[in-house]
Amino acid sequence: MADAQIELPGISSRTILAVFAHPDDESLACGGTLARLADAGARVVLLCASRGECGSVSDQSLIATSELGRVRSDELLEAARTLGIAEVIIYDHPDGDLRWADVPQLHDEIVAAIRRYQPNGVITFAEDGLYWHLDHIGVHERTFTAVRSFGADAPPLYYVTIPKGVMRDVVDAALATGAAFENTSFWGIEAEAFGQAATPSTFVVDVREWVPRKLAALGCHRTQIGPNHPFACIDEVQARRLLGLEHFRRAPTESRWESIIEQLGQQVPSS
Ligand SMILES: [Zn+2]
């Protein structure tokens, strides 16, 4: 499989812009796909709207000498290197208020990134924001309006979702290893919340070979994923099984551009 992506001339030398809300969203939502695109020769650019300065902290000692937003920005850059992301743009919009704060500004910044990088595809959250996270929904809204403002010249827009049940299965697999958990939620979010309101995806990208990179990138976000986090405890076999498919849907925006990420994809397997 490792050579399969080299046979995809449609991916090589193309640019993909991923737009997310906080450090770690990129790795959690579609780290495998971003790494696979990078390995296939694509230039992957990540726009992160905030520094994640208001999130929960796995280990206070990690931020003893610096502020949380700065530490999380550094963690994001490390995760990006792990995934092969070529460029990272981090904005200082307020974590926790992304749906309402700086609305025209974030819209304009995404428009500017599309003008500057001329991406062949844009990836962001779907309407459900992975688990109805209002920051994620805000970034979904801004990205949709920014892409749509290009009309027929807009690059294809892709929404990424985590299907219902996946995160619960990750917790169960981690528990089965005998690992001791402080809690079985993800950053205070119950596992069942992920994908609860997700619109079904229309294609999946097989990232089983890239799951170790995805987990390594998630592990770079040390202030969010400590040693007792479910992602840190599942073994590689289980991780490939549970996280080896990333789910996408093409947004209903007008676009003359050829499809791009679908070239990596396959139909959603029936469960
Ligand atoms: Zn987030």
The full DSSP string for 211-227 is HHHHHHHHHH-TTTS-T
- Ligand 1 mean position to 217 CA, how many Å? 15
Residue 260 tokens, joined? 């791009």
- Ligand 1 mean position to 136 CA, how many Å? 6
- Ligand 1 mean position to 4 CA, how many Å? 31
Q: Indicate the SS3 state at residue 167.
A: helix
Whether 265 and 203 have beta carbons less than 8 Å apart is answered as yes
Whether 187 and 224 have beta carbons less than 8 Å apart is answered as yes
Higher pLDDT among residues 109 and 6, named by residue: 109
Q: Tell me how far apart the alpha carbons of residues 219 and 75 are, in angstroms, rounded to a whole number.
A: 9
pLDDT at 254: 82
- Ligand 1 mean position to 48 CA, how many Å? 10
DSSP secondary structure of 172-217: HHHHHTT---S-SSBTTB-GGGTTTTPPPPSEEEE-GGGHHHHHHH
Could you list which residues have their CB under 5 Å from ion ligand 1? 21-22, 25
pTM of the model: 0.93
pLDDT at 183: 63
Helices (H) and strands (E) in the chain, counts: 9, 8
- Segment (H or E) for 17: strand 15-20
Residue % of the chain over a pLDDT of 70: 94
- Ligand 1 mean position to 191 CA, how many Å? 15
- Cβ neighbors of 247 (< 8 A, separation 6 or more) are 160, 161, 162, 163, 201, 203, 204, 268
- Cβ neighbors of 56 (< 8 A, separation 6 or more) are 187, 188, 224
Residue % of the chain over a pLDDT of 90: 70
Amino acid at 172: D
Average pLDDT, the chain: 91
pLDDT at 182: 64
Whether 262 and 250 have beta carbons less than 8 Å apart is answered as yes
- Ligand 1 mean position to 222 CA, how many Å? 15
Q: Indicate the SS3 state at residue 50.
A: coil
Average pLDDT (98-109) is: 97
Q: How sure is the predictor about 255, in pLDDT bands with cuts at 50, 70 and 90? A: confident
Average pLDDT (128-148) is: 97
Q: Tell me how far apart the alpha carbons of residues 268 and 257 are, in angstroms, rounded to a whole number.
A: 23
The answer, yes or no, to whether residue 271 has pLDDT greater than 60, is no
The answer, yes or no, to whether residue 7 has pLDDT greater than 60, is no
Neighbours of 206 (CB within 10 A): 18
Higher pLDDT among residues 176 and 32, named by residue: 32
Average pLDDT (9-33) is: 94
Q: How sure is the predictor about 6, in pLDDT bands with cuts at 50, 70 and 90? A: very low
DSSP state of 128: T
Determine phi and psi for 167, rounding to 5 degrees.
Answer: -70, -35
Amino acid at 164: K
Residue carrying structure tokens 């080896």? 244
Give the residue from 44, 18, 32, 38 showing the smallest Cα distance to 243: 32
